[in-house]
Structure 1
């Protein structure tokens, strides 16, 4: 595959992707982290990340697997207590150069998944889930070794709430901007949710909601086919004025200033 199923402007990725570069190079941006994909490099993208893809070389070629959000969720469901910090970690730890020893192993692994996808096995989905779970467990294992955020004692109940909160944000941030909505979904108070998210992530629940909204607005502004009114509708603002005030408050720029700065 030469062109990945991604846009040239940042967009909220709804699927998980496993990308293995066979040759050439291309630019990928995850949130604000920019990386040039190289040959024999593995790229792991998760649902809910803001991703853009551009400038592939003539010889750019990959093996790419698109994993639905439901399949991704099933793969993680058997993994005990993924920390919410793992998803922050994956914003900048999504590319993995493969050593000479790793390359044949990676070809074998991708081949196993491909064989199961095209097979008629009764338990085909379950086998694919287990293969994907193996990869995500390897990533989580690396995260646990490297992360300085891990502590000897963790409140797993709070981490579980944080995981559910971030899952809800990814689904509802466009139409629901109030902490109370998410607290109600989790059957807790807004005050308690704010405290838990601040404790587990270092930022408040409101800050995380705002971050996802701002990233979405920026992504839409980079799509020059959309006018401001259309962007206001897509992000569930009452009108252009309320969208503009919100954006300026959190970025210090007007909508037109940001759009022009990305066209230069």
Structure 2
């Protein structure tokens, strides 16, 4: 009989670090030991989240997309919603700290550069979701995750969500730095795979053109690919489509302009190459749940 595959979200996690609050339904940090592994993560599961798992002690074996990986102290795993995983062996002294970030919360990060970084490393982390850290990098990652967890508990902070987002942003920047220093290119090893080359080219095109070009066909034609094939690659690597990323960049930039610029809503719609202010308003309301004017008033 084929094993049942579960799809879970952050709300289904048992909180074992910090205080339970509504924010932990969107972003959560938990510590998992030997018993927790078998109680929560012993059957195949997809999580609708980006998961960072830092092993603190002991050893375990984990299946990720039907491939077995041994993990131990100082191992860092980065899993997307496209990774099917479960633990199947675990030592009694096994312990890890896990950061779960929902896609909705990731989308609240205002920086388009953060989206750029996430796509940039997505293909590498999808194919090789495990990194072995030296003691210094382990301590950096652990410090950042602990800071996020403390920020989630600090519900009385006047800028509560902003503090969490800033700590999360710092964690991902440090993660990007670790990945960059451990990439084959930085060590003078090998050449990028075809997927890595395509994703790299797509990122560069997206960063340069997302304000003016909103259609998948443009990016596919520039890469001499079909729109279907480009979408397939990006979807397989990140769990999102090319259109998702184009709209995510536009939404992030529109929030930045509404918050930090003096441009009128009409001018913003023009800068972002919408056909008119009404089209921009409909796009923004679908993403934010409120109009651009109401969003600006709340800031």
TM-score bin, normalised by smaller chain: 0.5 to 0.7
Q: Is residue 204 from structure 1 mapped to residue 229 from structure 2 by the alignment?
A: yes
Query: In structure 1, what is the equivalent of residue 27 of structure 2?
Result: none
Q: Is residue 116 from structure 1 mapped to residue 151 from structure 2 by the alignment?
A: yes
Question: In the superposition, relative to structure 1, how do residues 69 and 106 fare at CA in structure 2: closer, same or farther (>3 Å)?
Answer: same
Query: In structure 1, what is the equivalent of residue 60 of structure 2?
Result: 26
- Selected match of 1:140 from 176, 179, 195: 176
- d(CA) in 1 for partners of 2:143 and 2:91? 26
- Selected match of 1:56 from 90, 96, 101: 90
Whether the aligned pair in 2 keeps the contact of 1:23 and 1:60 (CA below 8 Å) is yes
State the secondary structure of the residue aligned to 2:127.
Answer: coil
- Selected match of 1:46 from 74, 77, 80: 80
Question: In the superposition, relative to structure 1, how do residues 204 and 7 fare at CA in structure 2: closer, same or farther (>3 Å)?
Answer: farther
Query: In structure 1, what is the equivalent of residue 161 of structure 2?
Result: 125
Q: CA deviation at 1:14?
A: 0.6
Whether the aligned pair in 2 keeps the contact of 1:22 and 1:62 (CA below 8 Å) is yes
Q: CA deviation at 1:209?
A: 9.1
- d(CA) in 2 for partners of 1:211 and 1:115? 33
- d(CA) in 1 for partners of 2:152 and 2:69? 30
Question: In the superposition, relative to structure 1, how do residues 138 and 110 fare at CA in structure 2: closer, same or farther (>3 Å)?
Answer: closer
- Give the TM-score taking structure 2 as reference length: 0.49
- d(CA) in 2 for partners of 1:105 and 1:66? 18
Q: Is residue 159 from structure 1 mapped to residue 206 from structure 2 by the alignment?
A: yes
- d(CA) in 2 for partners of 1:154 and 1:197? 7
Query: In structure 2, what is the equivalent of residue 8 of structure 1?
Result: 43
Whether the aligned pair in 2 keeps the contact of 1:117 and 1:128 (CA below 8 Å) is yes
Query: In structure 2, what is the equivalent of residue 173 of structure 1?
Result: none
- Selected match of 2:123 from 71, 82, 88: 88
Q: CA deviation at 1:206?
A: 6.8
State the secondary structure of the residue aligned to 1:48.
Answer: coil
State the secondary structure of the residue aligned to 1:91.
Answer: helix
Whether the aligned pair in 1 keeps the contact of 2:202 and 2:223 (CA below 8 Å) is no
Question: In the superposition, relative to structure 1, how do residues 135 and 200 fare at CA in structure 2: closer, same or farther (>3 Å)?
Answer: farther
Whether the aligned pair in 2 keeps the contact of 1:20 and 1:40 (CA below 8 Å) is yes
Unmatched segments (≥5 aa) in structure 1: 164-185, 213-264
Q: CA deviation at 1:66?
A: 1.8
User: Cα deviations across residues 174-230 of structure 1 (Å, max 9, x unaligned)?
Assistant: xxxxxxxxxxxx9647x65754676499x8147549969xxxxxxxxxxxxxxxxxx
State the secondary structure of the residue aligned to 1:74.
Answer: coil
Query: In structure 2, what is the equivalent of residue 36 of structure 1?
Result: 70
Q: Is residue 71 from structure 1 mapped to residue 105 from structure 2 by the alignment?
A: yes
Whether the aligned pair in 2 keeps the contact of 1:195 and 1:204 (CA below 8 Å) is no
User: Cα deviations across residues 72-128 of structure 1 (Å, max 9, x unaligned)?
Assistant: 233474425347452111113433333233344344323212211111212222112
Question: In the superposition, relative to structure 1, how do residues 78 and 160 fare at CA in structure 2: closer, same or farther (>3 Å)?
Answer: closer
Q: State the aligned residue count.
A: 186
Question: In the superposition, relative to structure 1, how do residues 84 and 118 fare at CA in structure 2: closer, same or farther (>3 Å)?
Answer: closer
Unmatched segments (≥5 aa) in structure 2: 1-31, 186-191, 238-299
Query: In structure 1, what is the equivalent of residue 23 of structure 2?
Result: none
